Structure 1
Amino acid sequence: MDYLKANARKLINEFKGDDFIYGTGCLNRAGEIIAPFGSKVLLISNLEKRDPENYKTILKSIHDNSIQVIGHTPSSRPNSPREDVLRMKQSIQETNPDCVLVVSGGSGIDATKAAIVLADLGGDFDDYFGTGKVTDKIRKTEKNPRPCIAIQTASGSAAHLSKYSNVTDLKTRQKKLIIDDAIIPPKSLFDYSLTRTMSSDFTCDGT
């Protein structure tokens, strides 16, 4: 077991280096991963409802790093419905943060990635579904989407590390993917203790 843990740690470090903080008890470093990207952040999360103590830990870390939370909007429903993405997009445009911090499971992180793209690059969902469409738009417009900083709260999701954003059209019941290196969160954190308040069924399904 120790060998497996050591090997897993080696693979993660080779993959993300210092850009990914993980383990138990690292949540108080949340502000550390935001600080390189500015002093004003939009917070996207529902954590204050199911885990208020850890939510307070995140807010304290943000404050201790001289970062201002200039807005808060709820996270996404499961499977990142288009309507939730558009709501997040509106919040981004209204608050104009330096970066966006999403504290959520995979659906919330996926939705935030898509919302930032729509808010900063314009256009519609269909402009970005597929591979490399975000990068193409960046080259054409010479605009860069603001950073999406991710704190993962659920087992079994790699949304905080990946180049994928899965968005669902509830009317057609169809999922489509944005696939692009440009939407990978530049910094992310996963404190495993956040999963303790999730049901065992959810954790088993995720893993």
Structure 2
Amino acid sequence: MKEAEILLKDWKKGHYVFGCNVLNFVGKFAGEFGKTVLLVGSSSDWALKPMEDIAKSLRENGLSYVKVSGAKPNTPREDVYRIALQIAMHKPDVIVAFGGGSTLDAVKASNILATFKPYEVEKLLSVSWSEACTIDPYFGTGIVSKMKDAAGRDLTPMVAVQAASSSGSHLTKYSNVTDPVAGQKKLIVDEAITPKRAVFDYTVTLTTSKNLTVDGGLDGFSHLWEVFMGASGKPYFEKAKQLVEVGVRLIIRSLKTLKTDQSNLNARVGLGLGTDLGGYAIMIGGTNGPHLGSFSLVDVLTHGRACGILNLYYTLFFSPAIQEQLKTLGLILREEGFIVEDVSKLEGLNLGMTVVRGLTRFLESLKAPISLADAGASEKHIARMLNAAKDPALRMKLLNMPIPLNPEKGDVENYMKPLLEAAFKGRLEEVKMVEAYV
């Protein structure tokens, strides 16, 4: 765990405090930006003590605050608009957000809406006045920074206080927002929404449910693995490899312990560190197919489990192009008892299938689903995923995958569709490979 701590401290310098019993740092961080605070958090039983600890820290640092309720799971739009209204009404010097990824993502998105006026958005982004009143213009990459530079105005500083070992939202430039009616999640990617300061007290996670623990671990695993899969030939390859070697080990070992001992503090710290490294990973590289597909499954699957299922099939699909990555992950899975074979002696599709079977055993050990059908998805979800993949805004994401998919050449229909159908049925052997890579 020491290596993970060093990696995080070297990355975030003094802007991130993590460990046990560290909520008293929140007031100090918030005080760097002013005296009035909007405290966004949960009123649920599990959150009462940490919320009071945060409030106490604010008071001890001479700060005044107003409390606002956080977001429901998956950050539904209505919560984004509700919190944005509170930010606009109170005009705080700083926002302190306490919660899991859903609340932190909601505050990031709400902060954008409270900062820029619709007429500015209409003019500067060339969108209709009706769209300018919504969160829609900001989906994509770098749009918030464009608005910030053009309007000459920054967002209200945010101190993110994480409550779950999962998304890494307290450390990153991402905000996921869900349209519950369409059942579709969309993503804002922008350095401008990265929280100015962050705190994660791992003891807060001691009461996390078994289901949320598993889901958060799988989300962190997916961040690490998807970035590493896409790192071939990139300048961050060695860093992504190091993050996997440290972070994936911590996540797998911690989840194994927490299966039978939910209150094991050492494992809770290990899981928190591992998923934090997942946050580090998605700040140096991008996720790919599994995350893309998961955004269309919000009405039937939690995010981590959706990524967990899809990672099986995309890992096999990408296997001809990610041989070194497979050997790195395969070694970890062998150490943890999920693979028997010596992966150093395997190559090609044989290596890919061996690692994927090891991943399957890992998921099964957590009682996580390994097919979309088993998880309650239907064929309409396949259609939704394929439709989302054809969004022009995602074209570069598809082209930058370990094996590029070009929508204009029919690759979504020719390769992604059979992959998703295989994931639906749970039949790895039906994943259609790209002949040029085999």
TM score, norm. by length of structure 1? 0.94
- 1:48 shift after superposition: 5.6
The corresponding residue for 1:118 is 113
- The answer (yes or no) to whether the contact 1:51–1:197 under 8 Å persists in 2 is no
Quick one: structure 1 residues 172 and 48, their matched pair in 2 at CA, closer, same or farther if it must change by over 3 Å?
Answer: closer
The corresponding residue for 2:35 is 39
**In the aligned structure 2, how far is the partner of 1:54 from the partner of 1:43?**
12
**In the aligned structure 2, how far is the partner of 1:30 from the partner of 1:99?**
11
Matched, 1:106 2:101: yes
The corresponding residue for 1:161 is 171
SS of the residue aligned with 1:103? strand
- 1:79 shift after superposition: 0.6
**In the aligned structure 1, how far is the partner of 2:207 from the partner of 2:216?**
14
- The answer (yes or no) to whether the contact 1:47–1:103 under 8 Å persists in 2 is no
**In the aligned structure 1, how far is the partner of 2:185 from the partner of 2:89?**
27
Match of 1:148 among 141, 158, 172: 158
The corresponding residue for 1:12 is 8
The corresponding residue for 1:197 is 207
Matched, 1:26 2:26: no
Choose between structure 1 and 2 for higher RCO, CA contacts under 8 A separated by at least 6 residues: 1
Quick one: structure 1 residues 167 and 180, their matched pair in 2 at CA, closer, same or farther if it must change by over 3 Å?
Answer: same
SS of the residue aligned with 1:37? coil
The corresponding residue for 1:60 is 56
Quick one: structure 1 residues 50 and 57, their matched pair in 2 at CA, closer, same or farther if it must change by over 3 Å?
Answer: same
Higher deviation after alignment, 78-87 or 196-205: 196-205
Structure 1's consecutive aligned runs of 4 or more residues displaced over 6 angstroms after TM superposition are none
- The answer (yes or no) to whether the contact 2:163–2:201 under 8 Å persists in 1 is yes
The corresponding residue for 1:127 is 137
**In the aligned structure 1, how far is the partner of 2:147 from the partner of 2:45?**
37
The corresponding residue for 1:178 is 188
Output the aligned Cα RMSD: 1.1
- 1:182 shift after superposition: 0.3
For residue 107 of structure 1, what is the amino acid of its counterpart? S
SS of the residue aligned with 1:194? helix
Quick one: structure 1 residues 8 and 47, their matched pair in 2 at CA, closer, same or farther if it must change by over 3 Å?
Answer: farther
- The answer (yes or no) to whether the contact 2:37–2:95 under 8 Å persists in 1 is yes
For residue 143 of structure 1, what is the amino acid of its counterpart? R
The corresponding residue for 2:70 is 75
- 1:51 shift after superposition: 3.2
For residue 181 of structure 2, what is the amino acid of its counterpart? K
**In the aligned structure 1, how far is the partner of 2:80 from the partner of 2:197?**
21
Any idea what the Cα deviations from partners look like across 1:56-113, whole Å, max 9, x if unmatched? 21111100000100x2111100110110000000011111111111000001000000
For residue 49 of structure 2, what is the amino acid of its counterpart? E
- Where is the helix percentage greater, Structure 1 or Structure 2? 2
- Where is the strand percentage greater, Structure 1 or Structure 2? 1
SS of the residue aligned with 1:27? coil
- 1:29 shift after superposition: 1.4
SS of the residue aligned with 2:154? coil
- The answer (yes or no) to whether the contact 1:45–1:102 under 8 Å persists in 2 is yes
- 1:47 shift after superposition: 5.0
**In the aligned structure 2, how far is the partner of 1:52 from the partner of 1:84?**
20
Higher deviation after alignment, 52-61 or 20-29: 52-61
Quick one: structure 1 residues 48 and 201, their matched pair in 2 at CA, closer, same or farther if it must change by over 3 Å?
Answer: closer
**In the aligned structure 2, how far is the partner of 1:26 from the partner of 1:47?**
20
**In the aligned structure 2, how far is the partner of 1:141 from the partner of 1:73?**
27
- 1:196 shift after superposition: 1.3
- The answer (yes or no) to whether the contact 2:96–2:161 under 8 Å persists in 1 is yes
Any idea what the Cα deviations from partners look like across 1:126-179, whole Å, max 9, x if unmatched? 211100000000111111111111000011220000000000011111111110
Q: Percent identity?
A: 38
